[in-house]
Amino acid sequence: MTKPPVIAADGRKARVEAMFNNIAPSYDFLNHFLSAGIDRRWRRTLIKNLSRQPHDHILDVATGTGDLAIGAARLKPKHIAGIDIADEMLAIGREKIKRKRLQTIITLEHGDAEHIPFGDQSFDAAMVAFGVRNFENLDTGLAEMYRVLKPGGVAYILEFSIPEIFPVKQIYRLYFRHILPLMGRLVSKNPSAYTYLPETVYLFPQGDAFKRIMQNAGFTGISAKKLSFGIATLYEGFRKKSDFV
């Protein structure tokens, strides 16, 4: 398997890669601590939806330290392939997989979501948790996920969103813009990583806007389910069973 093309040092992708490599040692702790463990519940919701039908081959895009792939292993697929551009995150994920003795089911590889290093129609399902915000080109990344799905295959995309109901919206704004960046900075020792998070969430297309982008990439049967009062959203979309229909 070959690595994706080298990105210029001043590109957004290179900055994202460097940032996640830098915060890798504290990433899992901060994920669970800053979300009060709710991130685990969101991943379980994705996996519950994934379990509605069997999938032999699953792709986990922007796998990070492999939490979603490890959770999906309980569905007993033949293989889960995880890809990410941050090698330090992948190294931690491989250690977790080794401890759980899942090496025969899960493999993690360096890979770019916009240049997925697998052939057309390789997977029954594709999934990504909190990673599409980091795509340098969202349209290209979604098109790549569509490309590697088999006809009839499903994609699940879990991402942060902005709640709209009172008082959750106001509490969310206070926590996300002020408390979370401060706590994340203190623990990770990275001055920008947990400022980057709320900035990208507020800029990211959500709800119907994101569903339209999925549709433009080719997906059909698209749905969106708000989780935890809209703090996160789970999107579902399918590759057409025939591209001639």
Q: Where are the domains of the chain?
A: 12-161+204-238
Digit-coded pLDDT (tens) for 62-75: 999 999 999 999 99
DSSP state letters, 186-202: HHH--TTHHHHHHHHHH
Is domain 12-161+204-238 annotated with CATH 3.40.50.740? no
For the residues 226-235, what does the mean pLDDT come to?
A: 96
Q: Which residues pair with 226 in a beta bridge?
A: 233
**Residue ranges in the chain assigned as alpha helix (H):** 12-34, 38-50, 67-72, 87-99, 138-148, 168-174, 180-188, 193-203, 208-216
Q: How far is CA 127 from CA 19, 149, 160, 177, 182, in A?
A: 22, 11, 15, 28, 30
What was the pLDDT predicted at 5?
Answer: 35
For the residues 153-157, what does the mean pLDDT come to?
A: 98
What was the pLDDT predicted at 243?
Answer: 63
Helix (H) or strand (E) run with residue 177 in it: none
* pLDDT above 80 (res 9): no
What was the pLDDT predicted at 8?
Answer: 37
Digit-coded pLDDT (tens) for 70-120: 999 999 999 999 999 999 999 999 999 999 999 999 999 999 999 999 999
* pLDDT above 90 (res 29): no
For the residues 204-214, what does the mean pLDDT come to?
A: 97
* pLDDT above 80 (res 20): yes
Between β-strands 232-238 and 149-160, what pairing exists: parallel, antiparallel or unpaired? Answer: antiparallel
Report the share of the chain in percent with pLDDT over 70: 94
Q: What spatial distance separates the first Cα and last Cα of the chain, rounded to whole Å? A: 33
Top mean-pLDDT range of 37-41, 164-168, 223-227: 223-227
* pLDDT above 50 (res 162): yes
What was the pLDDT predicted at 2?
Answer: 35
Cβ atoms of residues 172 and 163 within 8 Å? yes
* pLDDT above 80 (res 187): no
* pLDDT above 70 (res 55): yes
**How far is it, in rounded angstroms, from Cα 176 to Cα 169?**
10
Range from 6-15, 67-76, 177-186, 227-236 carrying the lowest mean pLDDT: 6-15
Confidence of residue 192 (pLDDT cuts 50, 70, 90): confident
What was the pLDDT predicted at 3?
Answer: 37
Q: How far is CA 81 from CA 88, 141, 182, 216, in A?
A: 17, 16, 34, 25
